[in-house]
Amino acid sequence: MLHDQVCRAANVLKRNGIKKGDRVCIYLPMVLELAISVLACARIGAIHSVVFGGFSAQSIADRINDAQCKLVITADGSYRGNKEIPLKSTVDDALIGCPSVQKVIVLTRTRTPVAMLKGRDIWWEQELKQVTADCVAEEMDAEDVLFILYTSGSTGKPKGVVHTTGGYMVYTAYTFQNVFQYTAPVGERAPVHFCTADIGWITGHSYIVYGPLASGATSLLFEGVPTYPDAGRFWDIVDKHQVNILYTAPTAIRSLMGMGLDKVENHDLSSLQVLGSVGEPINEEAWHWYDDHIGKNRCPIVDTWWQTETGGLMISPIANVTPLKPAYASLPLPGVQPVLVDESGKEIEGNGVSGNLCIKFPWPGMIRTTYGDHERCRQTYFATYPGLYFTGDGCLRDEDGYYRITGRVDDVLNVSGHRIGTAEVENAINMHTGVVESAVVGYPHDIKGQGIYAYVITDQMPADHDADLTKRDILATVSRVIGPIAKPDKIQFVSGLPKTRSGKIMRRILRKIAEGETTNLGDITTLLDPAVVEEIASGVL
Ligand code: AMP
């Protein structure tokens, strides 16, 4: 059925002028048509650029323009819990500034009224009636581009990470089959793999679509949130569909942990065989809760470390093979060569050490370039430590040689497993009228892993009764510029920021204050105005 639907969707794309090498932006909810659209692009050699459904019109426009997409696939709206989210109208706003887009295919999901522009906008369902299911797959070179996926870094706008056809597909299938110990049965029901990520992120690309489907697995797509209609939703799905592999994020585990065990205990979870964790470091408490209450101490937990740029899993236990240690991504997969380096790039050898995580040798799923700007790719990943791929993560290797990822060492935040650049959030805050300057740092957050803390200077310090409203205006601005996922959790108005004499913001100090450390702030004598630190520390939220 999937093959049939993919061929039909591919013919719709062709009918609308899309050919090998053209870029197609996909902005859809987590419905089957999202996976079908992705595969339809792959079938005809078009390059997909999936944009997560929570991004704003501005973010969509930036991504469409960077890749010069010719066509957009979207839906009228989507469901999120009990809310309806408009998608087409957000795309309409984005397209005001996107001259490259010639066609918009609109799927009916919520049947909310939408504007349909003559000559540009067409309905998915009507288009499908015009095509057959015969579509020969385009012949591709292993190194032809398969997709672009935008991700945040420490500077500038998000960059388009490019993955190619052969290596990416091989690597996602290889890692899926080995790490989760997936074997395709002969003549029986294929094991059910439930990855709770959104296809808008790399985890969804690699472990909902490509890895499982290339392996013949049944991949379960879930359009919804883990807490609606109640906190038992995941366990309900596992029970109902007899899920064998569950792959989710620490944030989801932490939020469900807090909701009590009664939502877990009334479900049959005996079908589960392997549990996975991805996206951020998993704390020991969450690891044990997952192990005790979901896996019932009989399912291995694979804590998989990897990135958008790596295409697939890099450091991870292999289920039922690697001895586990809570909160450790454990050992590199066969073929992966991690090294730890110090600030000067010198390799740190031996065990019981920590440093910056790099990879020494290429692997099939590695980033090939950043779309349209190869030099940026070189600068970002290969220039910090010549001869090495730099991950941006800090890592420790314990006495047993086991790896534990400690978090980003650059100006990138990981909020609920979503990667957000501090510079991006600052730019968005600075677009709010009256804001003079801002500095954004992360702080430990019980559920999200990291929360966003913004220090903001306004042209006039808002009076108490105005401060709350101004904060809400700033949040609305960030939502409009990036999307709700980038909204700061805390905003503190300050009269100045701690800067060195050369004008560089001392983020180390701001990070400490946001973490609640107000006295032991290290050496502040090199600051232009040390007094500002006291003011900030006394007003910490
Ligand atoms: P993304 O490219 O959006 O998937 O984000 C990749 C980043 O998420 C990595 O650089 C890490 O900082 C973090 N990350 C992903 N998986 C793990 C993991 N298992 N343990 C710790 N951090 C992780």
Q: What is the pLDDT of residue 528?
A: 86
Give me the chain's average pLDDT, please: 96
Whether the per-residue pLDDT at 520 is higher than 90: the answer is: no
Whether the per-residue pLDDT at 474 is higher than 80: the answer is: yes
**Measured from the CA of 408, which atom of ligand 1 is nearest?**
12
Q: Which residues contact 247 (CB under 8 A, 6 or more apart)?
A: 180, 193, 194, 195, 196, 197, 203, 207, 275, 276, 277, 278
Q: Which of 67-71, 336-340, 515-519 has the lowest mean pLDDT?
A: 515-519
CATH superfamily of 159-408: ANL, N-terminal domain (3.40.50.12780)
Average pLDDT of span 98-120: 97
Q: What is the pLDDT of residue 299?
A: 98
Distance CA 136, CA 132 (A): 12
Residue 306 CA, ligand 1 centroid: distance in Å: 6
Q: What is the pLDDT of residue 155?
A: 83
User: Exposed, middle or buried by CB within 10 Å (0-12, 13-18, 19+), for 267?
Assistant: middle
Whether the per-residue pLDDT at 193 is higher than 90: the answer is: yes
Residue 305 beta carbon below 6 angstroms from any ligand 1 atom: yes
Residue 473 CA, ligand 1 centroid: distance in Å: 31
Among 175, 280, 359, residue to substitute to test ligand 1 (most atoms within 8 Å of Cβ): 280
Whether the per-residue pLDDT at 186 is higher than 80: the answer is: no
Average pLDDT of span 469-482: 96
Q: What is the pLDDT of residue 32?
A: 98
Give, in words, the CATH class of 2-139. Answer: alpha beta
526 pLDDT tier (thresholds 50, 70, 90): confident
Among 150, 331, 414, residue to substitute to test ligand 1 (most atoms within 8 Å of Cβ): 414
Whether the per-residue pLDDT at 387 is higher than 80: the answer is: yes
- Assigned token pair, 362: 């290429």
pLDDT for 128-165, tens place per residue?
A: 999 999 999 999 999 999 999 999 988 888 999 999 99
226 pLDDT tier (thresholds 50, 70, 90): very high
Kindly report the pTM of this predicted structure. 0.96
Distance CA 90, CA 72 (A): 12
**Protein residue closest via CA to atom 13 of ligand 1:** 280
Residue 313 CA, ligand 1 centroid: distance in Å: 10
Residue 251 CA, ligand 1 centroid: distance in Å: 12
How far apart, in Å, are the Cα atoms of 61 and each of 37, 91, 180, 244?
A: 20, 8, 37, 39
Distance CA 36, CA 4 (A): 10
Whether the per-residue pLDDT at 476 is higher than 90: the answer is: yes
pLDDT for 256-295, tens place per residue?
A: 998 989 999 999 999 999 999 999 999 999 999 999 999 9
pLDDT for 529-539, tens place per residue?
A: 888 999 999 98
Average pLDDT of span 200-212: 98
Residue 308 beta carbon below 6 angstroms from any ligand 1 atom: yes
Domains 2-139 and 159-408 share a fold: yes
SS3 assignment for 191-257: CEEEECCCCCCHHHHHHHHHHHHHCCCEEECCCCCCCCCCCCHHHHHHHHHCCCEEEECHHHHHHHH
Distance CA 193, CA 205 (A): 14
Distance CA 395, CA 418 (A): 19
C-alpha angle 162-176-318 in degrees, rounded to nearest 5: 120
Residue 388 CA, ligand 1 centroid: distance in Å: 18
Distance CA 27, CA 107 (A): 10
Q: CB pairs under 8 A, 24+ apart, for 300-303? A: 300/274, 300/275, 300/324, 301/275, 301/276, 301/277, 302/179, 302/180, 302/274, 302/275, 302/276, 302/277, 303/276, 303/277, 303/278, 303/327, 303/328, 303/329, 303/330
Are the CB atoms for 126 and 105 separated by under 8 Å? no
524 pLDDT tier (thresholds 50, 70, 90): confident
Whether the per-residue pLDDT at 223 is higher than 90: the answer is: yes
pLDDT for 311-358, tens place per residue?
A: 999 999 999 999 999 999 999 999 999 999 999 999 999 999 999 999
Residue 486 beta carbon below 6 angstroms from any ligand 1 atom: no
Give, in words, the CATH class of 413-538. Answer: alpha beta
Q: What is the pLDDT of residue 468?
A: 93
Residue 279 CA, ligand 1 centroid: distance in Å: 4
Residue 281 beta carbon below 6 angstroms from any ligand 1 atom: yes
184 pLDDT tier (thresholds 50, 70, 90): confident
Q: What is the pLDDT of residue 103?
A: 98
Q: What is the pLDDT of residue 185?
A: 79
Handedness of CA 68, 72, 77, 82 (dihedral sign): negative
541 pLDDT tier (thresholds 50, 70, 90): confident
Distance CA 485, CA 506 (A): 25
Half-sphere exposure of 189 (CA within 13 A, CB side): 9
pLDDT for 1-33, tens place per residue?
A: 999 999 999 999 999 999 999 999 999 999 999
Owner of token pair 């499908």: 128
Residue 96 CA, ligand 1 centroid: distance in Å: 34
Q: What is the pLDDT of residue 523?
A: 82
Average pLDDT of span 374-401: 97
Q: What is the pLDDT of residue 156?
A: 81
Q: What is the pLDDT of residue 519?
A: 84
Q: How does DSSP assign 490-508, residue by residue? A: EEEE-S---BBTTS-B-HH
**Measured from the CA of 281, which atom of ligand 1 is nearest?**
21
Residue 414 beta carbon below 6 angstroms from any ligand 1 atom: yes
Whether the per-residue pLDDT at 413 is higher than 90: the answer is: yes
Q: What is the pLDDT of residue 177?
A: 98
Residue 202 beta carbon below 6 angstroms from any ligand 1 atom: yes
In the chain, domain spans? 2-139, 159-408, 413-538
